[in-house]
């Protein structure tokens, strides 16, 4: 591990050390932050970014959810629809000028850091090529970390109602973002978590997902929670998603 990244890790731990990390909800966000940072760094290496760019990618991944800790403490939920947009909250926290100094970033790097993180929860409609470049890396790395977490069975079933919300099912079938919904049923929750697979644009990562059978693993993990009817709906959507990947 290079010294710059080690320094970033130390700074990150220093920023979250006062939160109660014995709370599993906060601890898993800390773990997720490191997972995304490593994914960002790996993607940057795969795309042959230079050393400064690779380190900046790692930093963006590490701090992309810094607002999640405050979100949980203040609202006791990670549902942005029921609290605040955590991308905006992370941006607000990172806008404290001390971060630029502590992280030893140039004005341009500091801008890229904040904007990439601000828009990782929603579309970036600007034309800044650097924001687009680093935001792309962050969004794919974040989604990939969530795919792996879901496949590993770490995600919890937080609702108990059967059936499916029509709009969520239709948007899943059309490969639209589901982040702006709150799940009302078990199948809603399954679809919203599985949707992370198609949030990923990078073909190399999507190939890893397909070849590792992550989609099938996710289906097997979630199907036990569903009624036979809902399981059949989920299987149909999963099979369609798998075909999308196989046809890459």
Rounded distance, CA 111 to CA 30, Å? 23
Domains in the chain: boundaries: 1-154, 155-248
Give the HSE-up count for residue 47: Cα atoms under 13 Å, Cβ half-sphere: 18
Cα–Cα nearest to 108, from 137, 131, 124:
131
Query: For position 246, what pLDDT does the model report?
Result: 67
**Share of the chain residues as helix, strand and coil, in percent rounded to the nearest 5:** 70, 0, 30
**Would you say 138 and 41 are in contact if contact means Cβ atoms under 8 Å apart?**
no
Secondary structure (3-state) at 63? helix
Fold (topology level) of 1-154: Hypothetical protein af1432 (1.10.3210)
CA atoms of 84 and 118, how far apart (whole Å):
12
Rounded CA separation 243/245 (Å): 5
For residue 236, the SS3 value is: helix
Quickly count: other Cβ atoms within 10 Å of residue 211's Cβ: 9
As a whole number of Å, the end-to-end CA separation of the chain is 34
pLDDT at position 157, please? 84
Residue 1: predicted pLDDT: 61
Q: Going by C-beta distance under 8 Å and a sequence separation of 6 or more, which residues neighbour residue 227?
A: 162
The single residue listed with the structure tokens 């601000």 is 118
pLDDT in the model for residue 160: 93
Q: In the structure encoding, which two tokens stand for residue 8, read together?
A: 């970033």
Model pLDDT, residue 248? 54
Q: What is the DSSP string of 108-156?
A: HHHHHHHHHHHTTTS------HHHHHHHHHHHHHHHHHHHHHHHTT-S-
Distance CA 62, CA 32 (A): 9
In this prediction the pTM is 0.91
d(CA 217, CA 152) in angstroms, rounded, equals 8
Residues of the chain with pLDDT under 70: 1, 246, 248
Positive or negative, the CA dihedral 137, 71, 218, 195 is negative
Q: How far apart are CA 202 and CA 51, in angstroms?
A: 21
**Buried/exposed 7-17: b ≥16 CB within 10 Å, e otherwise:** ebbebbeebbe
Per-residue pLDDT of 158-206, as tens digits, reads 899 999 999 999 999 999 999 889 999 999 999 999 999 999 999 889 9
* pLDDT at 180 (0 to 100): 87
């Amino acid at each position: 591990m290079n010294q710059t990244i080690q320094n970033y890790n130390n700074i990150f731990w220093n920023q979250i050390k006062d939160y109660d990390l014995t709370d599993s909800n906060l601890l898993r966000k800390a773990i997720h932050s490191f997972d995304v940072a490593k994914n960002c760094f790996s993607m940057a290496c795969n795309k042959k970014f230079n050393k400064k760019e690779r380190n900046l990618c790692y930093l963006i991944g590490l701090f992309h959810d810094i607002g999640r800790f405050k979100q949980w403490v203040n609202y006791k939920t990670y549902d942005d629809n029921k609290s605040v947009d955590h991308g905006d909250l992370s941006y607000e926290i990172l806008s404290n000028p001390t971060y630029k100094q502590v992280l030893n970033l140039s004005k341009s790097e500091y801008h890229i850091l904040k904007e990439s993180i601000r828009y990782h929860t929603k579309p970036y409609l600007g034309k800044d090529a650097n924001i687009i470049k680093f935001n792309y890396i962050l969004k794919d790395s974040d989604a990939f970390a969530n795919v792996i977490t879901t496949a590993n069975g770490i995600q919890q079933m937080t609702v108990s109602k059967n059936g499916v919300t029509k709009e969520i099912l239709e948007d899943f079938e059309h490969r639209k973002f589901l982040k702006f919904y709150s799940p009302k049923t078990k199948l809603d929750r399954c679809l919203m978590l599985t949707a992370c697979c198609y949030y990923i644009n990078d073909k190399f990562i999507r190939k890893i997902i397909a070849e590792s059978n992550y989609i099938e693993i996710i289906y097997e993990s979630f199907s036990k929670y569903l009624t036979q009817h809902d399981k059949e709906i989920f299987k149909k959507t999963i099979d369609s998603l798998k075909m999308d990947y196989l046809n890459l």
